[in-house]
Amino acid sequence: MKMNQQLYLKRRITSLLGLAFSMTAMAIGLAVLLWILYVLFSNGLSALDGHLLTSDTPAPGTEGGGLRNAIVGSLMIVGLTVLVATPIGILAGIYLTEYGDESKTAELTRFVTDIMLSAPSIVLGLFVYAIAVATVGNFSGYAGSLALSLIAVPVIMRTTENMLRLVPGSLREAAFALGAPRWKVSTFITLRAAKSGVMTGLLLAVARISGETAPLLFTALNNQFFSTNMGAPMANLPVVIFQFAMSPYDNWVRLAWAGALLITFTVLVLNILARVFFREKVSA
């Protein structure tokens, strides 16, 4: 039997071209990541100095300045969000795994949660404006936390659920056989067994919300001064970056880059930490 050399050559060339394309695509993806990191470091490092942490955001037209109020504001808003969203997300995740296997509501909740994960975050900001800013009469750090919780809860909920599902059923059965009530089995046995996985979800949620800008625009707004009052408008890094990057002042743009570097660095470190956590769990 004779091989059709021409056809064979054509197929091999097609395959080669296809694989070359896929390698190029991968290279482009990596190049974009490295390019963004390079840009951030080259622009942001120059603005990283002692003033960044000790002075507040400068008024228009004044020299220097730092990001102290924005950093503190961001930490407080994200911190409160974590405090609120963690118990809600974990308990809801427990419900979905331990009770919600067959019910239609649980299935619907799962579906809606997955959609909320990708819902346009600016619309969440609008919603919180309508319920927590328009009704109270002023922008506030609390409203900002509420908006971020709407993003954090679904993340924590779904990862908790997925991690609890990895816990072997025999562990639950052993606990039940010893006479443990359901709530104890869910909290002291399965949740503890899935601890590092749940931690991963928490870290990913923090990473996700620390860079979110759109939901804070109409909720926490911004504040030029240092303030720890969460009932009032609050400075926060993403909104400061947004305003400063679009401004005509050189020192504002420089501060925007410093903030961008700070946020990206935090987010990437949190992501890598989350992966390390999860890998330890899998190998253990």
Partner 1 sequence: MSLGSVMSSNIRSFQESDQVVSKDMVAIANKQRIQDFFFHRVTQAFSLLVLMALLGIIISLFVNAWPTFQKFGFHFLAHVEWDIVNEDFGAAIAIVGTVASATIALLIAVPLAFGVAVFLTETCPVWLRRPLGTSIELLAAVPSIIYGMFGLFVFAPLFADYIQVPLQKILGGMPLVGFLFGGATNGMGILAAGIVLAFMVLPFVAAVMRDVFEITPPILRESAYGLGCTTWEVVRQVVLPYTQKGVIGGIMLGLGRALGETMAVTFVIGNANRMPTSLFSPGTSIASVLANEFGEAEALHFSTLFALGFLLFVITFVVLAMAKMMILRAEKAKGN
Report the nearest approach of partner 1 to the CB of residue 61 (Å): 21
Please identify, using beta-carbon distances, which residue of 33 and 83 lies nearer to partner 1. Answer: 33
Among positions 194, 197, 212, 234, the unique one binding partner 1 when judged by CB under 8 A: 212
Say whether residue 251 binds partner 1 (CB under 8 A).
no
Taking the CB of residue 56, how many other CB atoms lie within 10 A of it? 20
With contacts defined by CB under 8 A, name the span among 56-64, 73-81, 122-130, 189-197 that binds partner 1: 122-130
Site size toward partner 1 (CB under 8 A) is: 94
Interface residue with partner 1 among 9, 12, 75, 228 (CB under 8 A) is: 12
Amino acid present at 39? V
Integer distance in angstroms from the first to the last C-alpha of the chain? Answer: 55
Q: CB of 123: closest distance to partner 1 in angstroms?
A: 5
Please state the separation of Cα 262 from the chain's center in Å.
15
Tokens encoding 46: 């120059």
Question: Which of 69/97 has CB closer to partner 1?
Answer: 97
Q: Which of 270, 146, 265 lies closest to 201, judged by CA?
A: 270
Helices (H), the chain: 5-44, 50-54, 68-94, 104-118, 121-128, 141-165, 169-177, 182-184, 191-193, 195-210, 214-217, 237-245, 250-283
Within residues 18-47, the interface with partner 1 by CB under 8 A covers 18-19, 21-26, 28-30, 32-33, 35-36, 39-40, 43
Per-residue binding letters, 63-102, with partner 1 (x by CB under 8 A): ------------------------xx--xxxxxx-xxxxx
Q: Which amino acid is at 97?
A: T
The reply on whether position 210 binds partner 1 by CB under 8 A is yes
Residue choice 9, 108, 136, 178 for contact with partner 1 (CB under 8 A):
108
Residues 101 and 263 sit within 8 Å (Cβ to Cβ): no
From the CB of 271, what's the least distance to partner 1, in Å?
A: 5
